[in-house]
Chains A and B, each alone.
Chain A
Amino acid sequence: MPATKKIKAAAKGPRMRVLAGVRTLREAEFFLTRGADEVYCGLPQVPNHGVKAENYASESELRATIDLARRLGKSAFLVANDVFPAGVFAKAAAKTAELVKYGASGVIVRDMALLEYFRERGLKTYFTLSTLGLCFNRESLRFFKERGISRIVLPQQLSPSEAAPMFDPELGMDIEVFCLPLFYEVNLNSLCSLSCPCSQEAVADLKDQRPYTCLSALRRHDGGYYTMPMPTSDTLLNYFYDFYHLGATCMKVARGPNGDEVAELFFRSLLLTRLLEKGVSREAFVHEGRKIVSSSQNYGKRYIVKRS
């Protein structure tokens, strides 16, 4: 196999917006000045599906990020992609609305009661439905659109052929995808209660880390071992190629508690995205993509290690 495949010149494709999850103003500034069009940010007082270390430490820093995005002509979203428990709903919904009024470009949501809260108060913003919203078909997408959603992050566990009806121009939705070769979840994230480090705080020693059940070798009752399966890297590269050509308009790089790792994944995701925008053929994309993707990552699989 040649070291590099000759890339056939082809018509350039549309540019995808790039969204990166961030935890600090410094990270936001880093990504927004190096290829990201949007960032998304979490606050502990607004329920979201991230570990503590993936959220901003202070609201003032998040507001500063909104200000920064505005100065750069870019966008900063608030992530609120968890169901708001009854006990905190009123406060959390009010905080969400406050940050939208301050200037957040929109909100990434899961909880339909929050959509209703905004609608009842006549508050308008750009809502993105999280993958955690479990929207796997065109009818569900229409259901969410009627409730105020403008964009959907496609579930990672959906093949392009299955997702194709959701790209219907009549629906007119913006469709965002994870850079699948680098971000894929083995089981449906919002419905998984298997042992996982995600619920832990930072540990000083990796020996104290809870294992990921979905990445562990499990002994079968009939002999041998089993690991929870996922599509191959080549499959996920092909899926990413197809989603782009179906019309996905945004590419997402997930938050993580380890900034260096997120930066590495961001640049790899950006390379893959820019390759698609160059208009390369499927074969060339997969060929080049294999070099960029050393192994399929799993969304949310981050080990939080204290640095001394």
Chain B
Amino acid sequence: MKYLFKLSISIVVFFGFNLSVLAQIPVSNSKHIIEIRNMKFIPSELIIKKGDTVVWINRDFFVHNITEFDDKRWKSSNLAKGESWSKVINENLNYYCSLHVTMKGKLTIE
């Protein structure tokens, strides 16, 4: 009986502590996920806020990259299946996969 009492106290303390920790973590809405699947960026167009982070995750077994389209100013590394790449976005931009040139996407600052 004494054991059960101690156990229940421990459970309450443990979960209470963790919930309080979780409550202190600010909910972030500045990260956006774009999946690369079936030779498409999903979603292909996204409206974000200046300074938001965009994460691209490759779900295809084909290698892909993310390349700035208009002036080719930057390019990600080549991403194998399951790999991801992220970038803080501060401006409107068009991008594409330079390996599969028909794959295109667009980010617009709100």
- Do A and B form a real pair? no
Interface of B toward A, CB cutoff 8 Å: none
Interface of A toward B, CB cutoff 8 Å: none
